[in-house]
Amino acid sequence: MQAAPTALRLRGQVAPDIAMVAGETSGDLLAGLLLDGLKARWPDLAPRGIGGAHMASRGFQAWWPSDKLAVHGFGLDVLRRYHEILAIRNQLKKRLLNGPGQRPDVFIGVDAPDFNLGLEAALKAEGIKTVQFVCPSIWAWRADRIEKIKHSVDHVLCIFPFEPALLSAHGIAATYVGHPLANVIPLHPDRQAARRVLGLSDEDTVVAILPGSRKSEIRYLAMRFFQAAAIVKREHPAIQFIVPAIPALKSLIERLAEEAGIRSAVQIVAGQSHTVLAACDVTLIASGTATLEAALFKRPMVIAYNMNWPSWQIMRRKQLQPWVGLPNILCQDFVVPELLQEAATPRALAQALLQWIEAKSAAADKIVAVQQRFTQLHEDLQRDTSRLAADAIQKILET
Q: Which residue has the higher pLDDT, 333 or 96?
A: 96
In contact, 318 and 139? CB cutoff 8 Å: no
Mean pLDDT of 29-36: 89
Residue closest to 356 by CA, chosen among 295, 304, 284, 282 = 282
Residue closest to 292 by CA, chosen among 207, 179, 368, 198 = 179
Q: What whole-number distance in Å separates Cα of residue 95 and Cα of residue 103?
A: 8
In Å, what is the CA distance from 166 to each residue of 60, 80, 176?
32, 34, 11
In contact, 1 and 92? CB cutoff 8 Å: no
**pLDDT at position 71 over 90:** no
Q: Would you report the helix, strand and coil content of the chain in percent, each value rounded to 5?
A: 55, 15, 30
Counted residue by residue, the chain has a size of 399
> 339-368, pLDDT tens digit by residue?
987 888 999 999 999 999 987 766 678 899
**pLDDT at position 137 over 90:** no
pTM (two decimals): 0.75
Bridge-based pairing of strands 48-51 and 61-65 is: parallel
- The alpha-helical segments, DSSP class H, found in 250-306 are 250-259, 273-279, 289-296
Q: Give the CA radius of gyration of the chain.
A: 22
**pLDDT at position 244 over 50:** yes
Proportion of the chain above pLDDT 90, given as a percent: 55
Mean pLDDT of 199-225: 88
E strand or H helix at 318: helix 309-318
Contacts of 299 (CB under 8 A, 6+ apart): 208, 277, 280, 281, 282, 283, 374
Q: What whole-number distance in Å separates Cα of residue 16 and Cα of residue 251?
A: 41
Residue closest to 389 by CA, chosen among 8, 27, 40 = 40
- Return the DSSP state at 319: B
Contacts of 57 (CB under 8 A, 6+ apart): 32
In contact, 20 and 110? CB cutoff 8 Å: yes
Residue closest to 293 by CA, chosen among 156, 193, 182, 144 = 182
Q: What whole-number distance in Å separates Cα of residue 182 and Cα of residue 382?
A: 5
Check residue 316 and give its pLDDT: 61
Domains of the chain: 3-178+383-398 (3.40.50.2000), 191-381 (3.40.50.2000)
Q: Which residue has the higher pLDDT, 101 or 279?
A: 279
- Return the DSSP state at 179: -
Check residue 202 and give its pLDDT: 92
E strand or H helix at 321: none
Mean pLDDT of 143-160: 90
Between vectors from CA 125 to CA 180 and to CA 398, what angle results, nearest 5°? Answer: 55
Q: Which residue has the higher pLDDT, 157 or 100?
A: 157
E strand or H helix at 352: helix 346-362
In contact, 31 and 110? CB cutoff 8 Å: yes
Confidence grade of residue 215 (pLDDT, cut at 50, 70, 90): confident
